[in-house]
Structure 1
Amino acid sequence: MENPHVIDPFGSDVQGEAAKLRERGPVAPVELPGGVAAWAVTGQEQLKRLLADPRVSKNPNLHWTKYINGEIAEDWPLRLWVSVRNMFTAYGDDHRRLRTIISRAFTPRRTEALRPDVEQITRDLVDGLAASPGGRADLREAFAYPLPIEVICRLFGVPDETRPALRRCVDGIFNTALTPEEAISNQVEMYGILQEFVAFRRREPADDLAGVLIASTDEDGSRLSETELVDTLILMISAGHETTVNLLDQAITALLTHPRQRALVRSGEVPWSEVIEESLRWQAPVANLPLRYAVEDIDVDGVTIGKGEAILAAYAAAGRDLSLHGDDADLFDLTRANKEHISFGHGVHFCVGSHLARMEAEVSLPALFSRFPDMALAVDPAELRPVESFISNGHRTLPVDLNS
């Protein structure tokens, strides 16, 4: 790959970097942290085709040449993203087996049964915000973060005392600016927490998602191995809340920085469902997702992704694809006729938690803005700082004046 764009591990300007990648075409060579080469696919139609193409794999042990040849360092900061053994990194029959197990446990009916919990958690959080000293609060810390993590922890039965350390480790997984030493330390701690959690849940069985997965392992070890069990918990708990945190964060930020759009929602001219979909398009909660691999040479609009080469799904760039959304793709516009996006993925790896994320947003966002109709950012929008990640697309803090 010649002249690759070097990805900023700090994610200092996700959309600025996405624009630079789009300028190089729908498929562009990039260099990931650690000097790892990949192809970033930024065109939405091109990315959709690849995500649905059976010639594209997520299993590095089978299809990533550099990984197979031992050229990816053991202390590569992103190694956990490719080394886990769960449906996120599975291919073919193996993926279908793991996906089936998860889908049976993570059903829309089980998700919808959580709606009363989501409503109660939202009420509690909004009441807590109302008591904020001076009417000022950090909405990421006090609203966007605690809602999804409380929901996912209830869904999986994670004990209260385990949650703070687990949250810290999940943040570390998405922090792509960690040093190799920090990444390994975080990975070791994460595995320790979840292995201990599995042992606890075996001692004290419960009718939660962790219990369902453990039962699948214990009843028939060929269905879900112990390694796959723990790695599946890593996937479901981390992806199950981090993306929703960013969805809420970015939707709130969008409305607070676009008063005319906010007025459309407030008047009832535009439903909250449109806010959610435009937010997902405009600021994909996962900006870039590592990694996929070409099973054979694949031609994408004249660019050849060679057999065994890595592919980065550039969701933030795809959401603002000018060929699909026009010259105003960078604008947050709730009246936009076409809000098509693939922020939850596409094809066989489409996010199983998309229904839950949307439900949390459709419950919590109206409740927040109804309770605090005059809410405003407490800082200039230019002062908002992104989380240190080229994967996770959110803000470190979201300070607001609740009663401006």
Structure 2
Amino acid sequence: MLMSLRSWATTWLTRLLLVRLRKQGGLDLSVLRRLPDAALMPLHRDGLDPVAPLGELRDREPVSRLPIPGATVWLVSGYAEAKQVLGDAGAFSNDFRHLVGTAASEADENPGGLGFCDPPDHTRLRRLLTPEFTMRRLNRLTPRIHAIVEEQLAQLEKAAQADPDGRADFVEHFAMPVPALVICELLGIPYEERDAFQEFSVARFDVVGGTAASFGAVAQSLEYLRGVVAAQRRDPGDGLLGMLIREHGDAVTDEELAGLADGVLTGGLETTASMLALGTLIMLQDREHFDALQRAEDPAAVAAPFVEELLRYLTVVQTAFPRFAREDVEVGGVPIASGDIVIVSLSAADRDPRLGEDMEAFDPSRPPTPSHLAFGHGIHRCIGAELGKMELRAAFPQLVARFPGLRLAVPSAELEFRRLSIVYGVDTLPVHVD
């Protein structure tokens, strides 16, 4: 069921270049799939770490050209430079129409949501959502989050007991279901529809079938969510969609509601699942971290800095949504022309030595890194960041308390990490729970 995102890079770069290349006479998509390896370096990793050449490039040239034919594309990998780009919505646009141009009209679908629009549309939509993501509103989900974690820990144990070798897939039985069920709770989606949520979240970014298939998955997802919105219009529930309908009525359209729900889905499922899986892997590879969390008199107090450092160190969303320069602008002393494409490497920026000492190491005892970019920065910073942290801070202490003997069921060297994926992770993580 877990269709991986290993071709995510090709999706984005194909979309980025499609309309420009067509205007220049066209280019077969099979050529785009054979992009130079150097152009894909921001998505390469060595285990949990960004590849060394990416860090070397950041230290030497924090704003550099990516060797992509047919377009001027800049890679921003330095922390200060990344914050400048992400924080300047006046100079850089996220508008989806820049991203796909005529490809969007062919698919007749725009995913909507906050990540693909600029002010004033972004300002209005974010203002609608912000009250629903305050800690006061989110705290109502706390009991349910803890219950979901406990339920899925039980499912993980049940799967291990049913397996002849006593193994269970941590991703399938815990890392993916936890955020899927939390999103269902948040939006007011019935529990039994969680499988559809997982499929939509992953399939929309897979390009094994090409760009048309990817847009087809967007269309399928939005069509499903339109049905959910229509049902909520008729009978608003207690979830986010119902609240928005009750409080704002026709001031927010069905298309906008579907787009916002789709953004919550795609922004909060795969990312949190990857954090749960990779964070657990870190603890199992270095039992010191596992034991420290298990021995803590106040697990919540230990979990908070542990999660914050995990977010920085892993930065599972490796690059931000592409930006497009609205005007001539200078970043890190490098001139960027109006119309140029800018890709921000979040994973490289969060390892920038300018942030502190030995940023290549995972060290939950270090003072929290100020403004790490795991959730982005500026007006497009993930609105669900606090919800994601709540899930992680709940899951890890409950996990180590329930399964003190948790261990990998295969050697670490046999784990298969995703290749060329915007959201980094593993598709399977076999474990023994006893």
Gaps of 5+ in 2: 1-35
Rate the CA distance shift 1:261–1:208 in 2: closer, same or farther, 3 A.
closer
1:7 aligned to which of 40, 43, 53: 40
CA distance in 1, matches of 2:48, 2:157: 33
> Deviations for 1:200-220, whole angstroms, at most 9, x for unmatched residues?
222332121111233466433
**Deviation, structure 1 residue 260:** 3.0
In the TM superposition, what are the counterparts of 1:108-119 in structure 2 within 5 Å?
Answer: 108-119=135-146
Q: Given the two structures, how large is their TM-score scaled by the length of structure 1? A: 0.86
Rate the CA distance shift 1:19–1:10 in 2: closer, same or farther, 3 A.
closer
1:349 aligned to which of 357, 367, 380: 380
Q: Does 2:127 align with 1:100? A: yes
Which residue is equivalent to 1:46? 81
**Deviation, structure 1 residue 103:** 0.8
Which residue is equivalent to 1:339? 369
Q: Residues 4 and 30 of structure 1 are in contact (CA less than 8 Å); yes or no, is this contact kept in structure 2?
A: no
Give 3-state SS (helix, strand or coil) of 2:64's partner.
strand
Q: Residues 377 and 401 of structure 1 are in contact (CA less than 8 Å); yes or no, is this contact kept in structure 2?
A: yes
**Deviation, structure 1 residue 176:** 5.5
Q: Residues 157 and 209 of structure 1 are in contact (CA less than 8 Å); yes or no, is this contact kept in structure 2?
A: yes
Q: Residues 320 and 344 of structure 2 are in contact (CA less than 8 Å); yes or no, is this contact kept in structure 1?
A: yes
Deviates most, 300-309 or 267-276: 267-276
> Deviations for 1:329-364, whole angstroms, at most 9, x for unmatched residues?
222222234534210111222221111111111111
CA distance in 2, matches of 1:38, 1:281: 25
In the TM superposition, what are the counterparts of 1:155-166 in structure 2 within 5 Å?
Answer: 155-166=186-197
Which residue is equivalent to 2:255? 227
> Deviations for 1:356-384, whole angstroms, at most 9, x for unmatched residues?
11111111110101111121111122222
CA distance in 1, matches of 2:247, 2:53: 46
CA distance in 2, matches of 1:18, 1:30: 16
**Deviation, structure 1 residue 318:** 1.5
Q: Residues 14 and 316 of structure 1 are in contact (CA less than 8 Å); yes or no, is this contact kept in structure 2?
A: no
Q: Residues 261 and 333 of structure 1 are in contact (CA less than 8 Å); yes or no, is this contact kept in structure 2?
A: no
1:27 aligned to which of 63, 67, 92: 63
**Deviation, structure 1 residue 44:** 1.4
* Root-mean-square deviation (Å): 3.0
CA distance in 2, matches of 1:358, 1:254: 17
CA distance in 2, matches of 1:175, 1:28: 27
**Deviation, structure 1 residue 9:** 10
Rate the CA distance shift 1:128–1:11 in 2: closer, same or farther, 3 A.
same
Give 3-state SS (helix, strand or coil) of 1:339's partner.
coil
CA distance in 2, matches of 1:317, 1:333: 17
Rate the CA distance shift 1:129–1:163 in 2: closer, same or farther, 3 A.
closer
Which residue is equivalent to 1:272? 303
Q: Residues 283 and 290 of structure 2 are in contact (CA less than 8 Å); yes or no, is this contact kept in structure 1?
A: yes
**Deviation, structure 1 residue 298:** 1.8
Q: Given the two structures, how large is their TM-score scaled by the length of structure 2? A: 0.80
CA distance in 2, matches of 1:275, 1:135: 29
Rate the CA distance shift 1:51–1:125 in 2: closer, same or farther, 3 A.
same
Which residue is equivalent to 2:227? 196
1:183 maps to a residue whose letter is: S
> Deviations for 1:139-198, whole angstroms, at most 9, x for unmatched residues?
111111111110110111112343222211111134355522321321221122111212
Which residue is equivalent to 2:15? none
**Deviation, structure 1 residue 279:** 0.9
CA distance in 2, matches of 1:27, 1:176: 28
Q: Residues 322 and 343 of structure 2 are in contact (CA less than 8 Å); yes or no, is this contact kept in structure 1?
A: yes
CA distance in 1, matches of 2:221, 2:71: 24
1:22 maps to a residue whose letter is: G
Which residue is equivalent to 2:118? 91
Q: Residues 28 and 39 of structure 1 are in contact (CA less than 8 Å); yes or no, is this contact kept in structure 2?
A: yes
Give 3-state SS (helix, strand or coil) of 2:330's partner.
strand
CA distance in 2, matches of 1:30, 1:75: 28
- Identity among equivalent positions (%) equals 31
Gaps of 5+ in 1: none
In the TM superposition, what are the counterparts of 1:166-205 in structure 2 within 5 Å?
Answer: 166-175=197-206, 179-205=210-236
